[in-house]
Amino acid sequence: MDPVPALEEPLKKVLGPATAKVMAEHLGLHTVGDLLHHYPRRYEERGQLTHLADLPMDEHVTVVAQVADARLHTFASSRAPRGKGQRLEVTITDGSGRLQLVFFGAGVHKPHKELLPGTRAMFAGKVSVFNRRLQLAHPAYELLRGDSEETVETWAGSLIPIYPATAKLESWKIGKALQTVLPGAQEAVDPLPESLRAGRGLVALPEALLKIHRPHTKADIEDARARLKWDEAFVLQVALARRRHADAQLPAVARRPKPDGLLAAFDDRLPFTLTEGQRKVSAEIFTGLATEHPMHRLLQGEVGSGKTMVALRAMLAVVDAGGQAAMLAPTEVLAQQHHRSVTEMMGELAEGGMLGGAEDATKVVLLTGSMGAAARRHALLDLATGEAGIVIGTHALIEDKVQFHDLGLVVVDEQHRFGVEQRDALRGKGKQPPHLLVMTATPIPRTVAMTVFGDLETSVLDQLPAGRSPIASHVVPAADKPHFLARAWERVREEVAKGHQAYVVCPRIGDEADDPKKPGGKKPAEDEAGKRPPLAVLDIAEQLARGPLRGLRVEVLHGRMQPDDKDAVMRRFAAGEADVLVATTVIEVGVNVPNATAMVIMDADRFGVSQLHQLRGRVGRGSAPGLCLLVTEMPEASAARQRLTAVASTLDGFELSRIDLEQRREGDVLGQAQSGTRSSLRMLAVIDDEEIIAEAREEATRVVADDPELTRLPALRTALDALLDEEREQYLEKG
């Protein structure tokens, strides 16, 4: 039997079952190779101390510091009524800040003997606040004596690596485990082609792994990081380049619009001129549709930049060329809204086969899960015969029963809400692979687009149509300044008095399924942690109608209403028959009521940056200026409050997406692109390493064009297989 390669050796064989179990369950590490790629988060210098003043609350931290003093107190308690309870308080310092450690009961004896003033050690624990001072309760610690052989051996060199750790496994224990497996680094197979590595002056992979875990100088760390970042960027870009290459080999029908067809007739009846941006992006899309392999294009644009218009013109071009186009929307509300706005924009051009329909007209059908049986049968027949050139629907489009006559283009709205399998199923309905246009209103920084959507060509609409009004945004600190909230409701009344309308958005619905007050209702998770549950639509609507907005027409909208009821509420609001719509985020995407000028977002800190930007885009869609008020009870110094201040300070979605990414870490972003498994990016920071990603993309494209199957680069192929376990490979296949 062949011996297992050193890096694939299971950790339980090397470290023992107990440690291996914790590593697998809490850190997702299973093999020697996994552990070698678990890189230090940062390094402490033996002679220097951590900045204690900057410790984050409620997080598990590892610090290196010196004991300033230690005091043992006795006290009376229910367990030790005669004053025999013991508490050890140890103050540690880094010269600039101080941090208190507390130990209780029998746990005081060992630290009382060991943590003497002047002792240096590593401490690990969760940061909490007691009596307005930062403290670690019962921290684990490791003395840095530098005398015993083991300590000198383990912490050789002046740089101490601090690893991402858990309460179950401290950083120094991970360091000791690495000491055991580090010899295996010599057998690491180098995925970078030798010419690329030498050309860029990068160290070999075994050397990079040794230097990242046991650096002697800061230059060692820099060398190792430069090399390991390249690995991550290059292997990921090779995966994407291979997919682009494979897609380019597939056949597709070229779809070119007729010079005097449906598209020309539609353009002639437009009451406004297209923006420069819309014309440019349309030209890019038409070029893609005219090729004989499937177009895969990402259309990203600011909220309200007119993406739907661009997508509709692409669909009309395909109908002109004898094909059909399908638009996939994430919710029924949005599918109905798109259907309504497309048929309105097209007028008689959408009345194919009907009396009064124009000569070039086609049929535009709607297909959703809640349609009645007769309407559904009718729609399915129109699709199968080709009578309907355009279909707009939800995931009901993907069902087996749905057959197309000749599907030429799939438009996916709000891509991040669709699973890959769903998009793949729709693409499988064409006789040949249809062209694909993915739209998103969440602007994506260029680097993320290259990393996550690297298989898609990208078009950007960053210009707003004429007549769009600016939106003023303000944070309303409800806890610090309650009168600001009262003023917010006055502003809503003022907008309604001018003949306008307003939205109020809440994070929760508040009906039986999630209301703790109702029998059988679940207690919201936050409630158990001592925080109040998020504000709910049904509660807030009732309070507003009885209180600050008494006398106004207040309606509610949320995801658990019947589709017909939702549609009726949206129609009434669009027709101006309601003044205030209290809703969940069902209005986040695509809802278009130009007369709505104000939005109040309750518990705004519970929404993400891009979600707030999306929501805000629902106002200011007409000629009157928009107002967005972000209500929060979070204190001024909190990260959540700073996030809201950032949203209020800019309307630039690209700028906000960078802020969002810096706060969230790219693992979350890539989670969408990699089937939700743990991000493969451990060293690469998508925003900071823009240049590396761009260069890696060029190199990868060159390598794949030269050798698509990577037959001459077996080590790269192995690294690719490790990145793309079967699940991810399928994910990329389907895209």
Q: What is the pLDDT of residues 550-608, one digit of tens each?
A: 999 999 998 888 878 888 898 899 899 999 999 988 776 657 788 999 999 999 998 88
Contact, 487 vs 564, CB < 8 A? no
Task: Label residue 655 by pLDDT band (50, 70, 90).
Answer: confident
Residue 26 has pLDDT above 90, yes or no: no
Q: Average pLDDT, stretch 627-640? A: 87
Whether 468 shows a pLDDT value over 80: the answer reads no
pTM for the model stands at 0.67
276: left (phi over 0), alpha (psi -120 to 50) or beta: alpha
With a CB cutoff of 8 Å and minimum separation 6, the contacts of 554 are 541, 544, 545, 578, 579, 580, 582
Q: Which of the pair, 56 or 644, is modelled with greater confidence?
A: 644
Is the distance from CB of 362 to CB of 410 less than 8 angstroms?
no
Residue of higher predicted confidence among 283 and 721: 283
Res. 123: pLDDT tops 70:
yes
pLDDT at 422: 61
The 10s digit of each residue's pLDDT in 294-315 is: 898 888 887 677 888 999 999 9
Which has the closest alpha carbon to 252: 196, 295, 282, 310? Answer: 295
The number of angstroms, rounded, from the C-alpha of 157 to the middle of its chain's C-alpha atoms is 39
What's the confidence (pLDDT) of residue 516? 46
Residue 437 tokens read as 């246009």
- Whether the per-residue pLDDT at 679 is higher than 90: the answer is no
Chain segment 266-281, per-residue pLDDT in tens = 999 888 888 898 999 9
| Residue 669: predicted pLDDT | 42
Looking at the DSSP bridge assignments, the partners of residue 392 are 327, 366
Cα angle vertex 660, ends 654, 666, to 5°? 105
Checking if the pLDDT of 1 tops 70, the result is: no
pLDDT digits 0-9 by tens, 592-606: 788 999 999 999 998
Q: What is the mean pLDDT of the chain?
A: 81
pLDDT computed for residue 136 by the predictor: 85
Q: Which of 240, 244, 254 shows the shortest CA–CA distance to 432?
A: 254
Q: Identify the band that residue 530 occupies on the pLDDT scale cut at 50, 70 and 90.
A: very low
> In 650-713, which ranges are continuous DSSP H helix?
653-664, 666-673, 690-706
User: What was the pLDDT predicted at 124?
Assistant: 81
- Which residue did the predictor score with more confidence, 408 or 480? 408
